[in-house]
Amino acid sequence: MNIIFLGEDSFSSVVLNALISSGNNILAVYCPYYENKIFVRLKMLCEKNSIKFNRIKDINSDFIVNEIALLHPDLIVVAHFERILKYNIIQIPRYGCINLHPSILPNYRGLSPQHWPIINGDSYTGITVHFINEGIDTGDIIRQRVIDIEPCDYVSDLQLKMKNNYGPIIIDAISDIRANKIRPIVQSNKAGSYYGKLKDLDCQIDVNGKALAALNLVRGVSFPYQGAEYNGYKIWKATLASNEFVNNWGKIYTENGIYFVTGLGDFIKFKDGILIVEKYNKL
């Protein structure tokens, strides 16, 4: 199938590599123009396979729309591409445009969908491949895969699980499209949830909240992301203290907050428990 690919980072490169390996003809790759280096792996993959790589400022500009139209793609595949496509592009490909979104839609539409399920304490999430319309992650669903979130999983662990499933689900979806075997699931506008990009304020630990909520936050925003913050410290790894620890020391260290106690360790006291801090740095 003749495909135009839209992506921007190492997650995108996993999807593109699967498309190449399965014998599709990649006409061109388009990547947003950022002042960083997240595009490097994607560019290297294109160079290795002699695919035209384009860094662009506006995917919906008349120039880019006309350029894509002249390539006559069968399909546009999108993965980890933080731009909204307008109708002028969506209507170009013979089979339409599809997007790989790392959540079980309609839940966690929008940005940072790999972080929020951990932060919210969910036991599972997943991957959706869906057709693109002019909404944000609202198009008809083609395929989905559920991925468990273990209590010990940090965001990097979840992302590795997702990466291992990116190639198979996108190839299966394209096979369905090619064979006309799709039974699309229409998303309800009233169902699901929408989240925005993680902000610094979202990453602040609330010691007047619950210890488990703080642990989930630490797991959800840890390396390679911004980390959870409290009182001038970045917390990268932590565990819930045992009931014995809480019973023994919670009565001595009664104020909520962070403690560094020689011979005992580093911990954050909450109203309902204690978080043992295993890795941190001072800002």
pLDDT in tens, 162-203: 999 999 999 999 999 999 999 999 998 888 999 999 999 999
CA distance 221 to 209: 18
Residues 6 or more apart whose Cβ sits within 8 Å of residue 162: 11, 102, 114, 127, 147
Q: Residue written as tokens 């909450």? A: 270
Please state, rounded to an integer, the average pLDDT across all residues of the chain: 96
Angle between the N-to-C axes of helices 155-178 and 10-21, in degrees from 0 to 180, rounded to the nearest 10: 30
Closest C-alpha to 207, from 257, 273, 135, 152: 257
Q: How would residue 144 be classed by pLDDT, with cut points 50, 70 and 90? A: very high
pTM for this structure? 0.94
For residue 54, the model assigns a pLDDT of 97
83-96 pLDDT per residue, tens: 999 999 999 999 99
The domains found in the chain, sorted by start residue, are 2-195 (3.40.50.170), 202-282 (3.10.25.10)
Q: Which of 119, 97, 98 is nearest to 108 (CA)?
A: 119
276 three-state secondary structure: strand
Q: What is the CA radius of gyration of the chain?
A: 22
Q: What pLDDT, on a 0 to 100 scale, did the predictor assign at position 191?
A: 87
Inter-residue contact 95 to 24 (CB < 8 Å):
no
